[in-house]
Chains A and B, each alone.
Chain A
């Protein structure tokens, strides 16, 4: 059956438009966009008056935990959490068990996504075998199997020689390297920002320089090899500056920032609440300001969640034993709208650029737009809708969310993938 989304305000950075339009969908595709499309008998009307229609969000940095850590999250729960957060495409990191360093694991993920997933899942392959940083993975076969990028996320390939060879080898396969930048020797067992947070809590410090050294190294290696580089979760002022300079030189580099690093800071860990334990750690107010500035001037291209769900009991321990990570898929968009859009730091158009259009472009995913002929991956957002984040409402298995108790606005009320409604907020009526 055809669907007609009526009276929504369509925000589409690709075509530079933000206007009230109707969208007609048939066979999962957008067939017509116009100011007014007549209602016919065979059409299901979805009236979204006063709400915004955005291209479905695209997240380049998600941990789905399957295979191997199904107690933390599964493809079924993770994709549902994503749909609820307005995401229609996500890229999943390879630090599963087994590590996604070979075609069979990739095929397993694809198979499970087709079976259990509700949105599009694009697997990322490992850079090195077992993500051990020693031998390069079967990059060619990973590409054949359908990976969209390479990453040893969670770990840095510490051996610069291995990293160089991986980049050289992968260049003909045209895969972007997404790098988690952390000099493991410098971090040692650091877990909070070195500075005010480590001084006040007595928890081991994780210096900004540990991140910046590897950002600088990976930029140099990308220049040497011609590899495409995407810096994961930038958190420091110095890191932003390194990326800015590299871009000015013409290096093929992009970068992401997470909602939590934009909104929270090192002072939040003084409570020892393990929901604030994340790698890289929450940084200083000054770093936070630099991240927002980097996002505004385009140095930082996109917002990615680094959705890292953990089982409840794993986080209910002393700070130093708790695993790193925040499960942020469900709250990313409302957090950004409530904190950055509301006070004018970003426009809604910017947000769509940073969370849909641009991430899709970086990995060439052919999603993230609203155009005739394109597949209907859409999210409807109500900027007025205010709701408190409550544990019981979270559909991700990971309840490790630092925004619990926050009142947020700008919630997705409906998410659609290939024209199919995959999420509908309770209280929102999508019509007959």
Chain B
């Protein structure tokens, strides 16, 4: 396979193994650009990429911006707030405006699940989902998979554990879809109130004990805990969460020597992860950031670099 069969990247639920492999292989080539003296190639000259963030996210936004610039695209950044949309400022209208300005790719981050799908239905540009509510965050999962493949040489057959708030996590959803497609064994662990009840139907092993779940795990992906979940009564306290699901000093003895520790950032140290784990040399949290740029360059290249933006394939 040498090209993507899709126009948009809205999520990983329906992306095939071949397509994911293509993205990861392309990212590998893109990462090579980092080693150059002049970190810029002309691949997307003349193309316009708009990043459209309705939620603040310094790191994802910077990663997309840098990826676009390294490929020589015209980059335009917009920010909005989801509340202004709720007041009647239409996402579709804004999307059509961007289209009229010649956007080839629109990267959207939004608090509403399905917002990228809505945009994809009404505008002609390629849409990349940079995180939609509790639905998906496909580029994060791709960079996680890229990192795993880079460090472990493979994804298939590995035991990958995702720790934390699975229910509200777009990172977890995209990882589950992508990892299952690539043949990994996926486990999740977290408070029962933060795990969707039908997850087993996706072939995911569900644990409620971190100690149990860690046994034999090759990769541990630690999700960020949002304090507002505690305010909503989904778990009793941060202290209690840290006691049962926090990656703390006690946990170290349970980890495999060659385990890979991932975290999408930014970390809540002392909540889901303690500094001792974040600083462990088995943690690859900073490399994830670098790999994020490479994966996003790969996507830009695959979606806009090959002149396929007018195909109506979704």
Please list the residues of chain A having a beta carbon within 8 angstroms of any beta carbon in chain B. Answer: 194-196, 198-203, 205, 271-272, 313, 316-321
Task: Report the Cα distance A299→B168, complex, angstroms.
Answer: 38
Q: Does any Cβ of A come within 8 Å of B90's Cβ? A: yes
Q: Which residue of B lies closest to A188 (CB)?
A: B232
Would you mind naming 22 contact pairs between A and B with Cβ atoms under 8 Å apart?
A: A194-B197, A196-B198, A196-B201, A198-B196, A199-B199, A199-B201, A199-B202, A201-B113, A202-B132, A202-B133, A202-B136, A202-B170, A203-B135, A272-B113, A272-B117, A272-B118, A316-B92, A317-B91, A317-B118, A319-B113, A319-B118, A321-B85
Instruction: Map CB proximity to A onto B78-112 as digits: 1 under 8 Å, 0 otherwise.
Output: 00000001100011100000000000000000101
**Inside 8 A of A317's CB, which chain B residues have their CB?**
85, 90-91, 118
**Inside 8 A of A272's CB, which chain B residues have their CB?**
113-114, 117-118
CB distance from A269 to the nearest CB of B (A): 9
**Inside 8 A of B13's CB, which chain A residues have their CB?**
200
Task: Report the Cα distance A318→B110, complex, angstroms.
Answer: 10
Within 113-149 of B, Cβ neighbours of A (below 8 Å) are at 113-115, 117-118, 132-136
**Inside 8 A of A271's CB, which chain B residues have their CB?**
117
Q: Which residue of A lies closest to B135 (CB)?
A: A202
Q: Does any Cβ of A come within 8 Å of B173's Cβ? A: yes
Q: Which of B118, B196, B197, B201 is close to A318, meaning CB atoms less than 8 Å apart? A: B118
Are A318 and B91 in contact (CB-based, < 8 A)?
yes
Task: Report the Cα distance A113→B170, complex, angstroms.
Answer: 49
CB distance from B108 to the nearest CB of A (A): 11
**Inside 8 A of B197's CB, which chain A residues have their CB?**
194-195
Task: Report the Cα distance A319→B117, complex, angstroms.
Answer: 10
The 10 A-B residue pairs with the shortest CB-CB distance, nearest first, are A272-B114, A202-B135, A318-B112, A202-B134, A202-B113, A199-B196, A272-B117, A319-B114, A320-B112, A195-B198
Are A201 and B114 in contact (CB-based, < 8 A)?
yes
Are B135 and A316 in contact (CB-based, < 8 A)?
no
**Inside 8 A of B136's CB, which chain A residues have their CB?**
202
CB distance from A185 to the nearest CB of B (A): 11
Task: Report the Cα distance A165→B91, complex, angstroms.
Answer: 47
**Inside 8 A of B91's CB, which chain A residues have their CB?**
317-318
Within 163-215 of B, Cβ neighbours of A (below 8 Å) are at 168, 170, 173, 196-199, 201-202
Are A321 and B112 in contact (CB-based, < 8 A)?
yes
Are B113 and A320 in contact (CB-based, < 8 A)?
yes
**Inside 8 A of B117's CB, which chain A residues have their CB?**
271-272
Given contacts A199-B196, A201-B113, contact A321 B86 (CB under 8 A): yes
Q: Which residue of A lies closest to B134 (CB)?
A: A202
**Inside 8 A of A313's CB, which chain B residues have their CB?**
90
A-B contact count (CB 8 A): 60
Task: Report the Cα distance A320→B132, complex, angstroms.
Answer: 11
**Inside 8 A of B168's CB, which chain A residues have their CB?**
202
Given contacts A200-B13, A201-B114, contact A320 B196 (CB under 8 A): no
Q: Which of A195, A200, A319 is close to B112, meaning CB atoms less than 8 Å apart? A: A319
Task: Report the Cα distance A318→B113, complex, angstroms.
Answer: 8
CB distance from B88 to the nearest CB of A (A): 8
**Inside 8 A of A321's CB, which chain B residues have their CB?**
85-86, 112
Task: Report the Cα distance A202→B118, complex, angstroms.
Answer: 15
Q: Which residue of A lies closest to B170 (CB)?
A: A202
CB distance from A154 to the nearest CB of B (A): 20
Task: Report the Cα distance A201→B196, complex, angstroms.
Answer: 12
**Inside 8 A of B198's CB, which chain A residues have their CB?**
195-196, 199
**Inside 8 A of A320's CB, which chain B residues have their CB?**
112-114, 133
**Inside 8 A of A199's CB, which chain B residues have their CB?**
196, 198-199, 201-202
Q: Which residue of A lies closest to B86 (CB)?
A: A321
Task: Report the Cα distance A286→B298, complex, angstroms.
Answer: 42
Task: Report the Cα distance A195→B196, complex, angstroms.
Answer: 7
Q: Which residue of A lies closest to B168 (CB)?
A: A202
Task: Report the Cα distance A322→B118, complex, angstroms.
Answer: 12
CB distance from B166 to the nearest CB of A (A): 10
**Inside 8 A of B132's CB, which chain A residues have their CB?**
202
Given contacts A199-B201, A321-B85, 9 further A-B contacts (CB under 8 A): A195-B197, A199-B199, A200-B13, A202-B170, A202-B173, A272-B113, A317-B91, A318-B112, A318-B115
Task: Report the Cα distance A320→B91, complex, angstroms.
Answer: 13
**Inside 8 A of B110's CB, which chain A residues have their CB?**
318
**Inside 8 A of A318's CB, which chain B residues have their CB?**
85, 91, 110, 112, 114-115, 118
CB distance from A399 to the nearest CB of B (A): 15
Q: Which residue of A lies closest to B177 (CB)?
A: A200
CB distance from B94 to the nearest CB of A (A): 12
CB distance from B220 to the nearest CB of A (A): 22
Q: Which of B86, B114, B202 is close to A203, meaning CB atoms less than 8 Å apart? A: B114
**Inside 8 A of A202's CB, which chain B residues have their CB?**
113, 132-136, 168, 170, 173
CB distance from B114 to the nearest CB of A (A): 3
Task: Report the Cα distance A200→B196, complex, angstroms.
Answer: 10
Are A316 and B90 in contact (CB-based, < 8 A)?
yes
Task: Report the Cα distance A317→B110, complex, angstroms.
Answer: 13
- Point out which of A198, A271, A317, A318 has the most chain B C-beta atoms below 10 A from its C-beta: A318
**Inside 8 A of A319's CB, which chain B residues have their CB?**
112-114, 118
Task: Report the Cα distance A379→B135, complex, angstroms.
Answer: 46
**Inside 8 A of A198's CB, which chain B residues have their CB?**
196
Task: Report the Cα distance A164→B83, complex, angstroms.
Answer: 40
Task: Report the Cα distance A200→B90, complex, angstroms.
Answer: 25
Task: Report the Cα distance A35→B308, complex, angstroms.
Answer: 67
CB distance from A271 to the nearest CB of B (A): 7
Task: Report the Cα distance A272→B117, complex, angstroms.
Answer: 7
CB distance from B292 to the nearest CB of A (A): 21
Q: Which residue of B lies closest to A200 (CB)?
A: B13
Given contacts A316-B90, A316-B92, A320-B133, contact A203 B85 (CB under 8 A): no
Task: Report the Cα distance A199→B167, complex, angstroms.
Answer: 8
Instruction: Map CB proximity to A onto B1-42 as digits: 1 under 8 Å, 0 otherwise.
Output: 000000000000100000000000000000000000000000
Task: Report the Cα distance A271→B314, complex, angstroms.
Answer: 12
**Inside 8 A of B134's CB, which chain A residues have their CB?**
202-203
Task: Report the Cα distance A202→B134, complex, angstroms.
Answer: 5
CB distance from B138 to the nearest CB of A (A): 12
**Inside 8 A of A203's CB, which chain B residues have their CB?**
113-114, 133-135
Q: Which residue of A lies closest to B196 (CB)?
A: A199
Task: Report the Cα distance A202→B110, complex, angstroms.
Answer: 13
